[in-house]
Structure 1
Amino acid sequence: MADVQQPQEGKFGRLYGELRAGKLSRREFTQRALALGVGLPVITFVANAARVSASGKPSRNGWAAIAQDGAAAPAVGVEGQTRGAGGELKLLLWQAVTQLVPHTLTGTKDFIASSLVFEPPLNYLEDGTLIPNLAAEVPTVENGLLAEDLTSVTVRLKEGVTWSDGTPLTSEDLVFTHQWINDPENASVSLEIWGIVESVEAVDELTAKFTFKAPAANWFEPITGTQFGLIIPAHALGTGTDAIAEFTNNPIGTGPFMVESFAPNDQVIYVANPSYREPNKPFFDRVNLKGGGDAASAARAVLQTGDWDYAWNLQVEPAILAQLEQGGQGKLIAVPGTSVERINVNFSDPNAEVDGQRSHKDSPHPFLSDLNVRKAMALAVDRATITEEFYGYGALPGKNILAGISSLESPNTTNEYNLDAANQLLDEAGWTRDGDRRSKDGVELRVVYATSINAVRQKTQAVVKEGLEELGFQVQLQQVDSGIYFDGSAGNEQNINHMYVDINMYTNGAGSPIPLSYMTGWYAGPEDRNIAQQSNAWSGQNYQRYRNPEFDALYEQVILETDVEASAQILIQMNDILINDVAVIPEVNRPNEVAAISNRLREENLMLGPGFEVVTWNIANWNTNEG
């Protein structure tokens, strides 16, 4: 059965001391810390902080950690293989894919699907260090591509890369990607992350210069990874919703696969890209990415029947997974990470219509605007029971929204479960009880609580509902098909972007070692531009309509901070604001990935990490143990 060790804190502390003292190399530190069960996000941040601390001055390359010693994407057994020799690769995502166009996606399952086709200039390794992909090399101050003052970065593309239709990749595609994201007609979800970029200039055919609005220690975030870093083709993608829809049916990318057919909320069929720059890759000639069903059935299809090669995000009770693994056709992998299953609070009124939309940012919620109500709700969530009974695999009861990276985990928070204290808070706040109901000034504590259809999530809902009803809340549970729930389409009123409910629940986590993109989820921005609303086609990343001037000020401060340790302290302050203000209720710091892989699939090349990249980021190198 898959197992996840818990770190041995004292030994890890001694390792950290040896690293700072120069007695261990970064690689030795990483290997020994992994042996202690420490997660890679923790190792990465601590190693970066040690480097800065030892030097006595900020890193010359901002927050970036550059992969050393020739580190690259894992590619075991690819020598001498033939493109397409592996036949069909079969992937199960019980949350079905709904969209493919980069910079319009909101669900992890859609990022997974798009990363078979599209690529970024840089990728994160599992320890958070940077490696080149479309770029010829990682920019640094030392190689002259990153400005010493962090006000610009120059990206040099690899030679000979083409789009799947044979058109060469050029610096104009980087220019276009920036322009496309900033065009309001496209309602891009990447606007805040790329918002640090003032301009992108094509220096020559393969060189682009990014100039930032201010010194940017996170200069790499817009051009790195499978969430925000994907490059789109200037010659093939137009502007606006019609162009996006057309491109979805025939996406053109630089990645190892092309889309043969796409049935939203069901299935994507890919074929090997004949124009892919490495002639012996990909090993598989087709990929069948199938959605729908449920997590337990997906696990069974890999572990027991052996009909499929990979099943993603197995949010299934540990006892059931252990039983399925006895089938002998595959194995479970559990990867610690930054993922947090949480309850999100809607700060707007989902039942009042303003300017043709509900949950309008200027329409306060009738009772969730009361901090004491939110505090009482947090006290009523039995996180220990939820974690122990429904998750396992190293999961921990949640208390922070920044979790899994020890240098960013706040020591100032708790996850207390106390119904007596919760009832007392409501009494003192004037919410009077009449039988099993509470009200104040004619307003009842009545919540609609939504999440995706999943057995673990429905059991979690039942535990939370029981706790809230003990306080006098009336709770209506709502379950939505995951393909709809995580589909960010502007016309989909059941998705997490619209948030037409009082509270909802899902998992998210830090997507980089310095998780600024993650924290945009609570940043309102100037004129509330980052709040999901009808005016931006619900593309703003702040789905909860949360507005806190102190949080926004800290976000605007941290994006300018170039010192790693100072940044960590600001991020902890931001976490504490969210927890103390009960903007969110963290339930479980769950493994980033609990997956099932078939016995034939080579595990080393999957490189399932803590959450900095989606699982398919290295699919060009996937192959079989026999291959």
Structure 2
Amino acid sequence: MKRRTALMGAVAAAALVPGMVMAEERERGSSGHLNVIYWQAVSTMNSYLSGGTKEMNAASVVWEPLARFDNEGELVAWLAEEIPTLDNGGVSEDLKTITWVLKEGLLWSDGTDVTAEDVVFTYEYCTHPEGGCSYRDRYAGIESVEAVDDRTILITFEDATPNPYIPFVGAGSPIIQRAQFQDCMGARAPECTDENFAPIGTGPYVVTDFRPNDVIQFEANENYRVANQPYFQTITWAGGGDATGAARAVFQTGEMDYAWNLQLAPEVIEQMEGGGMGTLLVDFGPLMERIELNFTDPSPDLPADERATMQHPHPILSDIRVREALSRAIDRELLTEIGYGPTGRPACNFIVAPPAMVSPNNDDCLVQDMDRANALLDEAGWERGSDGIRVKDGERLELLFQTSTNAVRQDFQALIQQWWREIGVEARLRNIDAGVFFGSDPGSPDTYIKFWADVQMYASLFEGTDPTPHLEQRRCGREPRPETQWQGQNINRYCNPEYDALWAELNREPDPERRQELVIALNDMFIQDYAHIPLVARGRVSAAANTVGGIILNVWDSEHWNQAEWYRIED
């Protein structure tokens, strides 16, 4: 189902109302105050220090990239004057360089000039050898980033790069101010509390107050480049609670104007929407709920700096037969029906969008196969004990299964626990507050990035329509580890040199059809290695009050990509 992908209908209808103020007539701040609720509270305003979507979305109203993706997945210039191409000379014939030119007159929110040196610094910040940049994959394969002059940036790649639109493109790769962060490089990055909580940006809003895992107060950026935007003067970005409460606050009580990520059972959403005060926003993109399998040993018996690191392979999940058995035991059709209804689709792939890059080779996962699961565990030497749980060499087949606190995820955990027990696997369930689970504190033992559990469940996505950087995340060396302050996107610590070599080929390949073939091949290698367990391709599901216009849901970039254009619909 693709229901109301934006409030375009409401906006169009409002435009016909007598006395309606048109966009060109609105003034900065004329819409007053906006209330946003993220039931997964934001832990930092520095999205480079967190892999969480909630942090990226919050930061995106302050920090901006050179270009980003619109709601159709098309690349559009943002801080750059135009998109560099072969035709306009911005991309070299050998595909090894791309030249970006900043728009003239750009200012940081503190009134100082934005220059090419800020772009160079952003690269240096995120690729510092002692740093823990969560989005370092965006800068893979770069030889150098240079400031040609105050507005011109030259990026040189190590090899021919057919898709040079990854670094500094999209909400995950924004430009940060050198002057503010120059003393926050490397290992010092997470220590710069003032900078990380109140970043200076070019976006439509500035942070006036930030309380980690609680609430953010924003105010319109008086130096924003569009003279009459943003239309809302202030924003309260509340965090905490649960998805049910967030939905109720928009649909029924009217306390909130926008609620993100309404991960609720379909019957709950339907009942909530009956309140009539809000509109449900749904669209499908690359978002996919899955179970990550830890390839390393998270045992608490290991020293803290050796838990879930590559030096200790997982004693159970290193066997592909066990990983496959866990996947075969799951009924994805039932999970989708119970958890998401028409806002979800059963998934068998790592890459679930765009359609041309979705593999047709793994659909056998759609059928639950307990016989095959049991046979695999028998073959692997796991024998059932007197309580039905399998044992091998005196060790029980027992796994710690963690996820964030959410009603749908806890329902999933209970069902999966039951199915795994039927094949002789004991799953100990643990759920963690979403603000902590998706948080950025390198000292916390409970983040999904640190992964001090055997298996864990969550969803993630990528920006734009090219999954190259998303696939790059699973390369050897991209795993979180102590020396990177536990940052990195190879969450399950997967390492396969053949995968790395195939990804390198993808990164060099100019032919679109061959690129599609390579994406599918990489997906199949990862999936058929049972490196993780896909469950449900999820639609992005949020809600907006009927009194707010200008919202265009975007599954390819930040959900707040056009925040400056949101406005209050007047009676």
TM-score bracket for the superposition, by shorter chain length: over 0.9
- The one-letter amino acid paired with 2:111 is G
Q: Are the aligned partners of 2:46 and 2:197 in contact in 1 as well (CA < 8 Å)?
A: no
Q: 1:389 to 1:179 in 2, by over 3 A?
A: same
Worse-matched range after superposition: 350-359 or 145-154: 350-359
In structure 2, what is the equivalent of residue 135 of structure 1? 80
Q: CA deviation at 1:164?
A: 0.6
- 2:50 partner SS: coil
Q: Which residue of 1 is the match for residue 69 of structure 2? A: 124
Distance in structure 2 (CA, Å) of the matches to 1:460 and 1:77 = 46
1:423-462 equivalence runs, <5 A: 423-435=374-386, 436-462=388-414
Distance 2:330 2:64 in 1: 40
Residues of 2 paired with 1:305 and 1:478: CA distance? 32
Cα distance in 1 between the residues matched to 2:103 and 2:459: 36
Aligned to 1:506: 458
Once residues 153 and 77 of structure 1 are traced to their aligned partners in structure 2, the CA distance between those partners, rounded to angstroms, is 38
Task: Determine the C-alpha separation between the residues in 2 that align with 1:210 and 1:421.
Answer: 50
Give distance in 2, aligned partners of 1:571 and 1:244. 38
Q: Deviations over 1:559-581 (max 9, x none)?
A: 11111111111111111112111
Preserved CA contact (<8 Å) 1:185 1:241: no
Residue of 505, 514, 538 corresponding to 2:486: 538
1:95 aligns with 2:47: no
- TM-score after normalising by structure 2: 0.93
Corresponding residue of 1:63: none
Matched with 1:397 is 346
CA distance in 2, matches of 1:242, 1:340: 29
Q: Post-superposition shift, 1:391?
A: 0.3
Matched, 1:170 2:147: no
Which runs of 5 or more residues in structure 1 are unaligned?
6-75
Matched to 1:275, the amino acid is: N
1:277 match: 225
Q: RMSD over aligned Cα, in angstroms?
A: 1.5
Distance in 2 separating the partners of 1:444 and 1:128: 47
Query: How far off is 1:453 after superposition?
Result: 0.3
8 Å CA contact 1:201, 1:208 repeated in 2: yes
- Give runs of aligned pairs for residues 372-387 of structure 1, distance below 5 A: 372-387=321-336
SS of 1:590's equivalent in the other structure is strand
Structure 2 counterparts to residues 50-449 of structure 1, below 5 A: 77-228=22-173, 230-237=174-181, 238=183, 239=185, 240-241=188-189, 244-351=192-299, 352-354=301-303, 356-413=305-362, 414-415=364-365, 416-435=367-386, 436-449=388-401
Per-residue deviation, residues 2-26 of structure 1 (Å, max 9, x unmatched): x527xxxxxxxxxxxxxxxxxxxxx
Letter in structure 1 aligned against 2:243 = A
Show the counterpart of 1:51. Answer: none
Task: Tell me which residue corresponds to 1:4.
Answer: 2
3-state SS of paired residue (2:36)? strand
Q: Secondary structure at the match of 1:211?
A: strand
How much has 1:261 moved relative to structure 2? 0.3
Kept after mapping to 1: 8 A contact 2:74/2:464: no
User: Which residue pairs with 1:28 in the alignment?
Assistant: none
Which of residues 533, 558, 561 is equivalent to 1:585? Answer: 533
Distance in 1 between residues matched to 2:161 and 2:89, nearest whole Å: 16
1:600 partner letter: T
Residue among 541, 548, 554 paired with 1:601? 548
Say if 2:424 is the partner of 1:477. no
Instruction: Deviation per CA, 1:142-173: give whole Å up to 9, x if none.
Output: 11111122111111111111001100111111
Aligned partners of 1:140, 1:241: CA distance in 2, in Å? 34
What's the CA shift for 1:250?
A: 2.8
The one-letter code sitting in structure 2 at the alignment partner of 1:363 is H
Q: 1:242 deviation in Å?
A: 5.9
Secondary structure, counterpart of 2:333 in structure 1: helix
Amino acid corresponding to residue 276 of structure 1 in structure 2: Y
Maintained 8 Å contact 2:251/2:272? yes
AA in 2 matched with 1:174: V
Q: Which amino acid aligns with 2:350?
A: I
Output the amino acid matched with 2:455. Answer: I
Q: Give aligned-pair identity as a percent.
A: 38
Q: Note the C-alpha offset of 1:246.
A: 2.5
TM-score by length of 1: 0.85
TM-fit CA distance, 1:216: 1.1
Separation (CA, whole Å) in 1 of partners of 2:507 and 2:117: 27
Deviations 1:30-49 (A, max 9, x none): xxxxxxxxxxxxxxxxxxxx
- CA distance in 2: counterparts of 1:496 and 1:77, whole angstroms: 45
Q: CA deviation at 1:440?
A: 1.0
CA contact (8 A) 1:366 1:443 kept: no
376-385 vs 180-189, which deviates more?
A: 180-189
CA distance in 2, matches of 1:97, 1:355: 26
Contact 1:259 1:271 in 2 (8 A): yes
Please list the CA deviations of residues 481-501 of structure 1 after superposition, one character each: whole Å capped at 9, or x if unmatched: 011101132112111111000
Match in the other structure for 1:48: none
* In 2, Cα distance between equivalents of 1:429 and 1:204: 62
Counterpart contact for 2:34–2:232, Cα < 8 Å: yes
Structure 2 match to 1:618: 562
Structure 2 distance, partners of 1:341, 1:216, is 30
The secondary structure found in structure 1 opposite 2:548 is: coil
Give, in whole Å, the separation in 1 of the partners of 2:57 and 2:488. Answer: 21
User: Is 100-109 or 338-347 further displaced after alignment?
Assistant: 100-109
For residues 416 and 214 of structure 2, the distance between their equivalents in structure 1, rounded to whole angstroms, comes to: 31
3-state SS in 1 of match to 2:24: coil
Q: Is the 8 A contact 1:304 1:329 kept in 2?
A: yes
Q: Map Cα deviations across residues 113-148 of structure 1 (whole Å, 9 max, x no partner).
A: 101111011011122211111001111111111112
1:354 Cα deviation (Å)? 4.9
Work out the CA distance in 2 between the residues paired with 1:287 and 1:357.
Answer: 42
How far apart, in 1, do the equivalents of 2:191 and 2:110 lie?
A: 18
Segment drifting more, 329-338 vs 508-517? 508-517
Q: What is the rounded CA distance, in whole Å, between the counterparts of 2:474 and 2:38 in structure 1?
A: 28
